[in-house]
Amino acid sequence: EDLSEIQETFLLFDSRGDDKIAASQLGDVLRALKQNPTEQEIKKCGYSQNPDARISFETFFPILQTISKNRILPTLEDFIEGFRVFDKDQNGTIACAELRHILVSLGEKLTEEEVDQLIAGNEDGQGNIQYEDFIKAVMVG
């Protein structure tokens, strides 16, 4: 994206008309610009202690550059390998209840509602999920 498009997206989040965004919106603006920062990466920017701070575009742009440079996209195979750890029978499935527990309690935790949306329609009659199909569906969006 070119600089003017990035700045235009940034300004969509300016609720006061001062050409700045609230520090609490930093992650939202980065995600609107097709980045996927972790909560840890956002905290490293130093605004977590002061969510009411205002961030100018001049301050924001280097943050965007750093986040996009650090972006390493995991492959389908990386995710499948991670799910295999939980596949006790090595049959390509994971118990829906176990997947739910993992998603709400490990790493970047999801809410119960977010998990419901992800899992909807993927559970088989035995309460399992074919994780390769599930991963493909999530990666496509």
Residue-wise pLDDT tens digits, 102-129: 999 987 789 999 999 989 888 999 999 9
Per DSSP, helices labelled H in 13-56 are 26-32, 39-44
Residues 23 and 50: their CA atoms lie apart, in Å, by 7
Q: What is the pLDDT of residue 1?
A: 61
Residue-wise pLDDT tens digits, 25-51: 999 999 999 898 888 889 888 888 887
**Residue 27's closest CA among 16, 36, 19?**
36
Burial of 61 (0-12, 13-18, 19+ CB in 10 A): middle
pTM, full prediction: 0.55
Q: How many CA atoms lie within 13 A of 54 on its CB side?
A: 10
Computed over every residue of the chain, the mean pLDDT equals 90
Residue-wise pLDDT tens digits, 53-68: 999 999 999 999 999 8
